[in-house]
C-alpha cells in the first residue's frame, strides 16, 4: 500500500486566496483525520470522519475552514479566505477500527505558507 | 479537558546509552496511549500503542509503559543509535473507538555518535 497520500506537499499563497488540501487515505480505512501542526500549538486535531461522515469538527478554528469527504478514498480541507496565521503543516491520517487495530497512519503533510 | 505534557522538550545523549522519555496526561480515563516518531519535514510514524488495560508494550529496542493511576507513560529506548534521532510524541486517545488523540508537544532527541 502506498500509505496516506497528500497533495500538494508545499503550498505558498497570498492572503485572501483559497487553498485546497487533498488527502487519499489508506484503502479500507474507515476513519480519516485532519491535523494542523505549528510550533506554538503543536499538533491539533481539526476534524475527523467515520465512513465519510464528519463526526467531530470542534477543532476547526473558524468558518474559513471546511472539510469534505465525498467518498472513501478522497478528502479535502479548504481554507477560504486564507490568512498568514493559517501557515502551518497540515496532516491527514487514517485508521481502521476493525479488529481492534486503531493505529493512525499519517501522510507526509502539506506545508502551507500564507504571505 | 485532556492535556498531555512531555518532558524534557529536548534531550541529547551519546550513542549507546539507554534513555527514558516521559509523558504525562491529566485525565486518567484514556482509551489508549500511543507513541509516535517524527523525522524533520516528515509525517508521524506510529511506534507503540498501549491499550488502557495494558501496562506495557515492546517493539525491538523500544518499551513503552502506562500507569493510568498516576497519569504517566514512559518510552524506554535501549542502546540508542544515531538513527534514533527524531522528535518523539505521545498521544492519549480520549474516546472509545474514535481515537480522538490529544498530543504532547514532543521531545526532540539527538543521539551523538
**For chain A, which ranges sit under pLDDT 70?**
1, 98-101
Of B32, B44, B98, the CB nearest to A48: B98
Interface contact flag, A102 B103, Cβ < 8 Å: no
Whether the pLDDT of residue B110 is over 90: the answer is yes
What residues of A are in contact with residue B32 (Cβ under 8 Å)?
A: 102
The pLDDT of residue A89 is 97
Q: How far is CA B48 from CA A79, A95, B35, B63, B89, in A?
A: 33, 15, 5, 8, 11
Name the percent of chain B lying above pLDDT 90: 79
Of B42, B49, B105, the CB nearest to A108: B42
More confident residue, A102 or B68: B68
Q: Integer distance in angstroms from the first to the last C-alpha of chain A?
A: 36
C-alpha cell at A58: 470542534
> How far apart (Å, rounded) are the C-alpha atoms in residues B68 and A22?
37
pLDDT tier at B96 (50, 70, 90 boundaries)? low
Which of B19-54 are b and which e, b meaning 16 or more Cβ less than 10 Å from the residue's Cβ?
A: bebebbbeeeebbbbbbbbbeeeebbebbbbbeeee
Interface of A with B (CB under 8 A): 4, 31, 33, 42-45, 48, 50, 55-56, 91, 93, 95, 97, 102-109
Whether the pLDDT of residue B44 is over 80: the answer is yes
> How far apart (Å, rounded) are the C-alpha atoms in residues A6 and A72?
15
Of A43, A44, A104, the CB nearest to B99: A104
Could you tell me if B101 and B3 are in contact, meaning their C-beta atoms sit under 8 angstroms apart? no
pLDDT tier at B95 (50, 70, 90 boundaries)? low
The pLDDT of residue A100 is 57
Q: What is the mean pLDDT of residues B94-113?
A: 85
Which of A6, A42, A97 best probes binding to B when mutated, by most B CB atoms within 10 angstroms? A42
Interface contact flag, B43 A108, Cβ < 8 Å: yes
Interface of B with A (CB under 8 A): 32, 34, 36, 42-46, 49, 89, 91, 93, 97-106
- Closest residue, chain B, to A59 (C-alpha): B100
Averaged pLDDT of chain B: 92
Q: Annotate A59-107 with three-state secondary structure.
A: CCCCCCEEEEEEECCEEEEEECCCCHHHCEEEEEEEECCHHHCCCCEEC
The pLDDT of residue B29 is 86
Interface contact flag, A42 B98, Cβ < 8 Å: no
Of A45, A91, A97, the CB nearest to B97: A97
> Which of B40-44, B70-74, B80-84 shows the lowest mean pLDDT across its residues?
B40-44
Whether the pLDDT of residue B97 is over 90: the answer is no
Amino acid at each position: 500500500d502506498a500509505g496516506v497520500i497528500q497533495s500538494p506537499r508545499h503550498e505558498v499563497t497570498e492572503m485572501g486566496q483559497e487553498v485546497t488540501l487533498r488527502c487519499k487515505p489508506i484503502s479500507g480505512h474507515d476513519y480519516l483525520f485532519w491535523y494542523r501542526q505549528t510550533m506554538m500549538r503543536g499538533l491539533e486535531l481539526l476534524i475527523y470522519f467515520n465512513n465519510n461522515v464528519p463526526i467531530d469538527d470542534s477543532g476547526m478554528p473558524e468558518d474559513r475552514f471546511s472539510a469534505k469527504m465525498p467518498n472513501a478514498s478522497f478528502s479535502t480541507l479548504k481554507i477560504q479566505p486564507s490568512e498568514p496565521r493559517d501557515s502551518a503543516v497540515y496532516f491527514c491520517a487514517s485508521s481502521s477500527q476493525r479488529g481492534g487495530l486503531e493505529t493512525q497512519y499519517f501522510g507526509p503533510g502539506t506545508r502551507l505558507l500564507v504571505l | 479537558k485532556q492535556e498531555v505534557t512531555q518532558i524534557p522538550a529536548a534531550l541529547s545523549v551519546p550513542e549507546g546509552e539507554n534513555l527514558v522519555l516521559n509523558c504525562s496526561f491529566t485525565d486518567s480515563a484514556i482509551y489508549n496511549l500511543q507513541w509516535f516518531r517524527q523525522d524533520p519535514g516528515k509525517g508521524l510514524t506510529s511506534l507503540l500503542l498501549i491499550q488502557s488495560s495494558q501496562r506495557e508494550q515492546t517493539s525491538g529496542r523500544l518499551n513503552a509503559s502506562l500507569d493510568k493511576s498516576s497519569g504517566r507513560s514512559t518510552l524506554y529506548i535501549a542502546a540508542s543509535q544515531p538513527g534514533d534521532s527524531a522528535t518523539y510524541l505521545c498521544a492519549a486517545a480520549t474516546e472509545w473507538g474514535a481515537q480522538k488523540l490529544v498530543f504532547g508537544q514532543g521531545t526532540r532527541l539527538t543521539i551523538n555518535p
